[in-house]
């Protein structure tokens, strides 16, 4: 990790030359309908699972999607593979928009995009032995070259993921969690894909087994030139494997940057809180550090807060802003925009901190270089814009905050009693 000297601001690393992305996600959204009970089940609302998500994945790059449970990471991965239909937005894979392609049209593209599921036991058919499990995608896509050559293909795949080919006659329940995950990886690699969506592939494994699987994935990426979309809530794992990180909260992207840049100076209050939970290997520094503890509960995705979705738990909103600034957070949805070079955050009042993972570093916040904080109060036109995930709701009534309003421990606005 880059060391930040006291009183100095280390320049961000230069972005790598990339070319054209192999996958481009733009304004992706997914709403799941909520229906009433009874014989005639009418739609009564929506779960806003994913809202206005955009990012790119380049060749041989590992993009990590991080956030707490329920933030929409897995749903985003399934939308990228067109396993579930998107409500709006586009997913462009090598020039083709997957959201407009039929199931039949997707079939040949499935060879290029594969997924490794989070639960290595539930994703494997218990009635099939390992040879059958790994051979299944080859048979489906007509690439199983007869019994002799087919068996040789399966043996090679098992050897590549570190499994003994002699164990191909065993069933999934006879293996450990790490070995089962390797079987899932072998299945995903069978068709020689260009993109792997890895849905928390090591979250259920012991730390030592995690390291083995992560090292295996990095070796396979180098050998086959794969691009990874790695979904996880474990920032320690992400710090090790990621080229670029996309941070999600309640269905929206709140920050994205190159991994080194993001861990060096996180700019969004939510990212800062996540990183403060990473344990430091030095016990002395661990005791000295001050953790950022979030209060309150995660809002319901059925009725997300207006403006910034994180404001109900944001320590900056509660403790550092005045009421004129809070009106921006309450009324105006923050755009994901560049705060530093190659570093974007969705926060009106973003400022980087360099002391979260470097105890003893300068504790003063680093102001954004490319985007200025808004001044004054938002106009009626700015404060009444419909939310990006519900444009059909039309203009909203602006919320004005008087001087006698404060923020309680749950992030709610309350009027002080005289």
Residue 184: is its pLDDT beyond 50?
A: yes
Q: Is residue 49 part of a domain?
A: yes
Q: Is residue 4 part of a domain?
A: no
**Same-domain status, 301 and 387:** yes
HEC letters along the chain: CCCCCCCCCCCCCCCCCCCCCCEEEEEEEEEEEEECCCCCCCEEEEEEEEEEEEEEECCCCEEEEECCCCCCHHHHHHHHCCCCCCCEEEEEECCEEHHHCCHHHHHHHHHCEEEECCCCCCCCCCCCEHHHHHHHHHHHCCCCCHHHHHHHHHHHHHHHCCCCHHHHHCEHHHCCHHHHHHHHHHHHHCCCCCEEEEECCCCCCCHHHHHHHHHHHHHHHHHHCCEEEEEECCHHHHHHHCCEEEEEECCEEEEEEEHHHHHHCCCCHHHHHHHHCCCCCCHHHHHHCCCCCCCCCCCCCCCCCCCCCCCCCCHHHHHCCCHHHHHHHHHCCCCCEEEECCEEECCCCCEECCCCCCCCCCCCCEECCCCCCCCCCCCHHHHCCCCCCCHHHCCCCCCCCCCCEEECCCCCEEECCC
Q: Is residue 280 part of a domain?
A: yes
Confidence grade of residue 3 (pLDDT, cut at 50, 70, 90): very low
Query: Of the candidates 194, 228, 263, which is a domain's last residue?
Result: 263
Cα–Cα nearest to 255, from 65, 69, 388, 92: 65
Query: Of the candidates 263, 284, 299, which is a domain's last residue?
Result: 263
Q: Is residue 7 part of a domain?
A: no
Enclosing domain of residue 300? 270-403
**Same-domain status, 103 and 200:** yes
Q: Is residue 415 part of a domain?
A: no
Give pLDDT, residue 8: 38
Average pLDDT estimate for 155-169: 91
**Same-domain status, 94 and 178:** yes
Give pLDDT, residue 417: 59
Those residues with Cβ within 8 angstroms of residue 394's Cβ, 6 or more apart along the chain or in another chain: 386
Instruction: Identify which has the larger pLDDT, 285 or 335.
Output: 335
Give pLDDT, residue 336: 94
Average pLDDT estimate for 318-339: 93
**Same-domain status, 255 and 301:** no
**Same-domain status, 229 and 378:** no
Q: Is residue 185 part of a domain?
A: yes
Q: Is residue 344 part of a domain?
A: yes
**Same-domain status, 155 and 230:** yes
Give pLDDT, residue 11: 43
Q: Is residue 255 part of a domain?
A: yes
Query: Of the candidates 248, 263, 278, which is a domain's last residue?
Result: 263
**Same-domain status, 288 and 233:** no
CATH code, 146: 3.40.50.300
**Same-domain status, 239 and 282:** no
pLDDT digits (tens, 9 = 90+) for 22-42: 999 999 999 999 998 888 888
**Same-domain status, 53 and 174:** yes
**Same-domain status, 113 and 170:** yes
Q: Do 220 and 185 meet the contact criterion of CB atoms below 8 Å apart?
A: yes
Query: Structural domain tally of the chain?
Result: 2
**Same-domain status, 279 and 210:** no
Give pLDDT, residue 256: 97
Give pLDDT, residue 360: 64
- Extract the tokens encoding 105: 């049209």
pLDDT digits (tens, 9 = 90+) for 46-67: 999 999 999 999 999 999 999 9
């Amino acid at each position: 990790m880059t060391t930040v000297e006291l009183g100095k601001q280390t320049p961000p690393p230069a972005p790598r030359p990339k070319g054209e992305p192999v996958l481009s996600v733009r304004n992706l959204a997914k709403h799941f309908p909520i229906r009433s009970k009874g014989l005639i089940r009418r739609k009564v609302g929506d779960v806003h699972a994913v809202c206005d998500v955009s990012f790119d994945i380049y060749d041989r790059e590992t993009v990590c999607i991080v956030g707490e449970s329920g933030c929409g990471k897995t749903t985003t991965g399934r939308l990228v593979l067109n396993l579930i239909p998107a409500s709006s937005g586009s997913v462009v894979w090598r020039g083709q928009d997957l959201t407009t392609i039929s199931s039949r049209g997707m079939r040949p593209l499935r060879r290029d995009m594969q997924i490794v599921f989070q639960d290595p036991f539930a994703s494997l058919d218990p009635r099939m032995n390992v040879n059958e499990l790994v051979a299944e995608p080859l048979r489906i896509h007509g690439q199983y070259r007869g019994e002799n050559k087919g068996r040789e293909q399966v043996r090679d795949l098992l050897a590549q993921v570190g499994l003994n080919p002699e164990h191909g006659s065993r069933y999934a329940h006879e293996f450990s969690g790490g070995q089962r995950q390797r079987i899932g990886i072998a299945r995903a690699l069978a068709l020689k894909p260009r993109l792997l969506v890895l849905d928390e592939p090591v979250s259920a494994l012991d730390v030592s087994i995690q390291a083995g699987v992560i090292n295996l994935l990095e070796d396979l990426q180098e050998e086959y030139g794969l691009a990874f979309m790695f979904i996880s809530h474990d920032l320690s794992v992400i710090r090790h494997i990621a080229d670029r990180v996309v941070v999600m909260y309640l269905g929206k992207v709140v920050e994205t940057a190159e991994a080194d840049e993001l861990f060096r100076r996180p700019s969004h209050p939510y990212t800062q809180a996540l990183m403060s939970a990473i344990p430091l290997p030095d016990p002395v520094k661990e005791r000295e550090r001050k953790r950022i503890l979030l209060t309150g509960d995660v809002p319901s995705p059925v009725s997300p807060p207006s403006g910034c979705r994180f404001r109900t738990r944001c320590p900056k909103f509660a403790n550092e802003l005045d009421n004129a600034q809070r009106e921006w957070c309450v009324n105006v949805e923050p755009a994901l925009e560049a705060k530093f070079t190659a570093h974007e955050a969705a926060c009106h009042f973003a400022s980087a901190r360099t002391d979260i993972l470097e105890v003893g570093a300068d504790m003063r916040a680093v102001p954004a270089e490319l985007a200025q904080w808004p001044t004054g109060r938002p106009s009626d036109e700015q404060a009444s814009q419909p939310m990006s995930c519900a444009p059909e709701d039309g203009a909203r009534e602006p919320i004005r905050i008087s001087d006698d309003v404060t923020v309680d421990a749950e992030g709610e606005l309350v009027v002080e009693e005289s």
